[in-house]
Amino acid sequence: MAESSLIKKLADVVGPKYVSDEPFVLQSYSQDFGAMPPSKPDVVVRPGTTEEVAAVMKIANEYRVPVIPRGGGSAQEAGCTPSANGGIVLETLRLNRILEIDESNGTVTCEAGITYVSLMNTLEKRGWKIGIAPSGAMAGTPGAHIARPGVGWGNIKYISSGDQVLGLKVVLPTGDVVVTGSGANPHSDVFFRYGLGPDMTGLFVGAEGAYGLMTECTLRMFPYPQQIYLERYRTKDLAEAIEIFRTLALNNLVVYVSVPVIKPGQLIIFDVNIEGDENEVAARTKKVRDLVMSHPGIEALGPEPPKPFWNYRWFLTGEEFKEGTAGAVNYFLPFDKLEYATYEMKSIMDRHGIKNYAQQMFPEPHGSEHVSLMFFHQTDPEERAKVWAATCEMMDRGLELGGAPYSKGRQWGPYLKKHLGNTGYWRLLETIKQAVDPNHIMNPGVVGLD
């Protein structure tokens, strides 16, 4: 339970309307959409400016209270939920403005809590787009997605949300405010990520709030393509499908490949996405078709099957979750390990008796995100326990296979520490944590950093 003096000081900063320790509110912020057991915060605060965020951080340091950043809460690895020690959940959804659309230099600067749907709708009306959009764009925010760093539509051409970032405004755990990229120069705008010294933007990309909380980001924009074309294929041969993904990715022939269904030996469905002007789309489509159909056992299903999902992708992207909440084990692997990992993850899920699960892939230039989703209903604690046990074993095994989890949260923390804890890399992470967060208040437990 939060001290009354703490709540009063928070209310003095953001206004009483935006602070709550009501039990039903705390329950609402106790978990995300994953399988990790819930844990309630002591108080929820919703600041509306960078200055308010900085003031909250200073108060948290004064009281030695953990701060847990939260965007839309649509992830599955407990990066936005507190540990057993509770703390302040700091929701960023009031930081929801587009600050500048710079069409001359092809950049957009926005606050970290705007939803991707709001950002993309505004840009598309002006003939622009961003490179990466997450599947959870209705709730997902740039601050949260960059902090993972997330992937999504555009993995092959644009890689990840972190690769779209030119600069950030970050509130450190001490309450200091830092601008990264070329904007670190007081005489400059944000137009270039590098220069002036080390890539300080990269310190916060993927750190999931362990080193600070993003309040603004400047992203690359791209002219909206004249055409966006999708085509669907299916096969039974997983090894053959992975070889197709590898060739498409290494030759940069498509914007992304989505593999929503993987049932080895039975059915693999994959969609390819191509964008550009009319001539470019036609030429690339022919190359892709020729390449894909040169493999025996591939059936072309044409452009119609993926259209409904694409047209309503922001509304239907969570359709699989009608099966329930999902325990998720997502990590990247190089192409030559994907087939083996698919069978390994499947064997663990089968051994734990998971009733309902799905496997998917979303390739990027040098490998693919490997996804395992295990569905359960909140009213079935026995199934949830099985899902959580399988999740833990799969994370451990995924790291043994050389996997790189992009969204880590508190879920992956113990396993990252187990496998990386004796490395120079880990010691550097801990040294940086101590330097920027001397009281260890910032999102403790994420990425394995206490």
What backbone torsions phi and psi does residue 410 show, to the nearest 5 degrees? -80, -20
Q: How many CB atoms lie within 10 A of CB 1?
A: 9
Closest CA to 33 of 92, 88, 79: 79
Look up tokens 């096969």; give the residue.
Answer: 235
* DSSP code, position 183: G
For the chain, the maximum distance between any two Cα atoms, rounded to a whole number of angstroms, is 70
Per cent of the chain over pLDDT 70 is 98
CATH of domain 98-223: 3.30.465.10
Closest CA to 256 of 283, 228, 225: 228
Identify the pLDDT of residue 407: 87
Domain-wise residue ranges, the chain: 4-93, 98-223, 227-316, 319-411
Instruction: Give the separation between CA 102 and CA 108, rounded to whole angstroms.
Output: 6
* Mean residue pLDDT across the chain: 94
Instruction: Give the separation between CA 356 and CA 283, rounded to whole angstroms.
Output: 41
Instruction: Choose the CATH number for 227-316 among 3.30.70.3450, 3.30.470.30, 3.30.420.40, 3.90.1280.10.
Output: 3.30.70.3450
User: pLDDT of 262-297, one tens digit each?
Assistant: 998 899 999 999 999 999 999 999 999 999 999 999
Instruction: Indicate if the pLDDT at residue 125 is higher than 90.
Output: yes
Strand order in the sheet with 227-235: 299-302, 227-235, 267-276, 256-263, 357-364, 367-376, 325-334
Pairing of strands 227-235, 267-276: antiparallel
Closest CA to 333 of 359, 304, 355: 359
Instruction: Choose the CATH number for 4-93 among 3.40.190.10, 3.30.450.20, 3.30.43.10, 3.40.640.10.
Output: 3.30.43.10
Q: According to the per-residue pLDDT averaged within each range, which of 70-79, 81-90, 169-178, 379-388 is highest? A: 169-178
What backbone torsions phi and psi does residue 426 show, to the nearest 5 degrees? -70, -40
Instruction: Give the separation between CA 404 and CA 64, rounded to whole angstroms.
Output: 32
Fold exhibited by the domain 319-411? Vanillyl-alcohol Oxidase; Chain A, domain 3 (3.40.462)
**The two domains 4-93 and 319-411 share their CATH topology (first three levels equal):** no
